[in-house]
Structure 1
Amino acid sequence: MNLSDFKESIQQGAMPKGISVFLQALWLEKSGDWDGAHGLIDSLAGQDAAYLHAFLHRREGDLSNAAYWYRRAGKPIASGSLEEEWELQVIYFLAD
Structure 2
Amino acid sequence: MRALWWLRKGGLRMGPEWEEAHAICQTAEGTPAYDRVHALAHWIEGDRFNSDYWYRRSGTERVSEDPAHEWAAQVADLEGNRGVT
| TM-score normalized by the length of structure 2 | 0.79
Q: Deviations over 1:38-72 (max 9, x none)?
A: 11111313111111111110111111100100110
The answer as to whether partners of 2:62 and 2:70 remain within 8 angstroms in 1 is: no
The answer as to whether partners of 2:39 and 2:55 remain within 8 angstroms in 1 is: yes
- 1:43 and 2:21 aligned: no
Q: Distance in 1 between matches of 2:77 and 2:65?
A: 16
Secondary structure of the residue aligned to 2:27 is coil
Equivalent in the alignment of 1:87: 72
C-alpha displacement of 1:74: 1.3
Bigger radius of gyration: 1
What RMSD in Å do the two structures reach over aligned CA positions?
Answer: 1.3
The answer as to whether partners of 2:32 and 2:58 remain within 8 angstroms in 1 is: yes
- 1:64 and 2:49 aligned: yes
Q: Which runs of 5+ in 1 are unaligned?
A: 1-22
Equivalent in the alignment of 2:8: 30
Q: Distance in 1 between matches of 2:76 and 2:49?
A: 25
| TM-score normalized by the length of structure 1 | 0.71
C-alpha displacement of 1:78: 4.3
Q: Distance in 1 between matches of 2:76 and 2:63?
A: 15
Give the fraction of aligned pairs with identical amino acids, expressed as a percent.
Answer: 34
Q: Which runs of 5+ in 2 are unaligned?
A: 11-16
